Structures are given as structure tokens and as C-alpha cells.
Amino acid sequence: NFANQFFQMIFSEILIFWYKKNKRELPWRNTKKPYFIWLSEIMLQQTRVTQGMSYYLKFTENYPTVSDLANASETEVLKMWQGLGYYSRARNIHFTAKYIAHELNGKFPSTFKEIITLKGIGDYTASAIASICFDEPTAVVDGNVYRVLARYFGIQTPINSSAGIKEFKELAQSLLDKTQPGTFNQAIMDFGALVCKPQNPLCDECPLSESCVALQKNLTKDLPVKEQKIKVKKRYFNYLVVVSNDDKTILTQRNDRGIWQGLYQFPLIETDKNINEKILISSTEFIDLFPDETSISLFNPKEIIHKLSHQHLHTHFWIVETASHKNAEIPWKTIQNFPVPVLIANFLVQFQLKK
């Protein structure tokens, strides 16, 4: 047991020593305010630091306090989030900001137990906030931590299995430097991001390389292990981009619980395969939308495939020109004000160039 404790101490000391010399200078590293740490942690889920940084700076500039964020409209928050993806994160931070501002008098909870009850906050984010802001000894386990631990200790348990989640959390907790938990947590995450990278890890520069199981057994590429992912679903989207004579169009808000909830889009006809113009205009959905005469043309002959984590959207944009339409109420010049999925934002750039 003594040997075990000694090893754990050495492991955390080596990582913290490495971190103090090599850590990334990031804007949220200069604060212990939970609001800023929370924002940065939510933004960096599923997102690289380089991409998340500009969003973090934009958010903290526009909403310097949790109350400022709470007072913004959901549409405004989604518009500011546009391009970061996984939009439920934006809806959740807005919901939680309102809860903290109105129910907790603007005071962020200070214990792991309380923080984890907030909407959109799981074990990882709660551990990060509790350890960094309040020195609570709770270990973080994110993709970087899974990778470092799986490789260093040669663990074959899949990281996305319930057994794996439990095993890695317990291991991370046992290695945590209880005297400086926030520093240790940031050290192991930065180490995974900068040295023990997914592809081409820098084993030659690694201060833990001499005792790394994956390096000794040539398993670096095989670890961590992930169970087979869900099958990717193919979907076929036909967006109908209305252009009326008075330069107006139709945008509707997606309110169903699926992807892009709360974002805006052009009228959509989803089909079970790619279709041609003849099939499109003879469909009941099209006829219901456009009972009057229209002129239709395909904007992108080559389908655009937009890849999400569990689905690939095979997309065509159809330009529908019409004299007028009762639902065409949005002037084209105001279209930039609406939060839209990146798929539509990219189309708008191309379309405005050709217009």
C-alpha cells in the first residue's frame, strides 16, 4: 500500500511539474470565478480549444455575468453559439444561467453535489468547477484523461462502457493530488491534449514514457478501447428556399426535440432517398406548401453531405421563385439575424454570392 501511495504521489508530481512548465495560456486560466470556468468547460466539450476560444471571448464580452446571460433571449444565445454545434449545450447554459440568476440570487453553487444537479452539467463539468474554483478533491475524467490513463496503465476496458466509466473515475480519483486538485485536473487534461495526443503522441518528450504500458507493449494506437459506435443513419433533406417578387422568404423555427432545436430553417421536405424535381413538385407536401404557380431550380446539383455524430444529412437546396406567398414574411436583408445550422449558413454565403 505504501508503494502504491508513493507511486500515486510521483505520478501527480510529474504531471504537475510538467504542467507548470508547459501549460497553455488560456483566458479562463486566470480566474477562479465559476461562471467563467463553467462557460469554458461547456464550450470545450466536443470542441477544440482553438475553435472554442473565439466563442468564449465573444460570450464573456457580451455576457460578463451570469445575470447578463440569463437576461438574453434564447434566439440571441443560439445566434451567438452558431457554428459551435451540439446546440443543446447553448440551450442548457441559458436555462441554467436563468436558474442561477433567478432562483439562487446569482450565486453559483460551490459543491460538486449541488453543481451536478444543474441542467447540462455532468460528472466531468461538475468535477472541473468544484476542483478549480472551490478546491474540492474531485477528479475530472474527459477524453484526454481516458487516453492518458488507458495508455499509461494499459487498461483495455472500453471507456464508453459502464464498467469503464466507473474504473477510470476511481483510478483518476486515487491519483488526484488532494492538496491542489484543480491544478492536477488541468495538468492531466493539458497533458492529454499536448503530449498524449490521439494521433502521433509525443512519446519521445513524455516524462512518463519509461513506465508507460502502452509504449512498452506497442499498444499506443489501440488504447483507449471504445465499444462499437451506433450505426450512422442517412437522411435526405430537401430545403425549399423561397424567393418572392418583393424579396422575402420563409424561415421556420425547429421546435421538435431532435437536432437543431430552436434554430431556423427553410421549409423542409425529408425523403427516404435523393429525388428529382418531378417527384418533388408532385409530392403532397410540396403542393400543400405551394398551391400557386412557382418556378423551381436546383441550387446544388451535387448533394451536400453534412455529417453529425449519428446521422449524415444528404442535402439539396431548391430555389422556389414565386410572385408572393402568405408565409413569406422575412426580408432577405434580415436573414443574417436568425440563428441557423451551419449547413444553412454555408448555403446562404454561396447563395448571396450568386444573387
Higher pLDDT, 278 or 5: 278
Q: What is the pLDDT of residues 227-258, one digit of tens each?
A: 877 788 999 999 999 999 999 999 999 988 78
Residue 102 has pLDDT above 70, yes or no: yes
CA distance 331 to 349: 16
Higher pLDDT, 48 or 140: 140
Q: What is the pLDDT of residues 25-82, one digit of tens each?
A: 999 998 999 999 999 999 998 888 889 999 999 999 999 999 999 999 999 999 999 9
**151-175: average pLDDT:** 95
Distance of CA 237 to the CA centre of its chain: 23
**1-28: average pLDDT:** 84
Residue 13 has pLDDT above 90, yes or no: yes
Positive or negative CA dihedral for 139, 141, 146, 147?
negative
Candidate list 41, 76, 210, 303, residue with the active-site label: 41
What pLDDT does residue 53 have? 94
pTM here is: 0.82
Query: Does 76 participate in catalysis according to the annotation?
Result: no
Residue 2 has pLDDT above 60, yes or no: no
Q: What is the pLDDT of residues 179-225, one digit of tens each?
A: 999 999 999 999 999 999 999 999 999 999 999 999 999 999 999 99
Confidence of residue 300 (pLDDT cuts 50, 70, 90): very high
Share of the chain above pLDDT 90, in %: 88
User: 109 phi and psi, to 5 degrees?
Assistant: -60, 155
Residue 229's alpha-carbon distances to 78, 146, 285, in angstroms, are: 29, 17, 34
Share of the chain above pLDDT 70, in %: 97
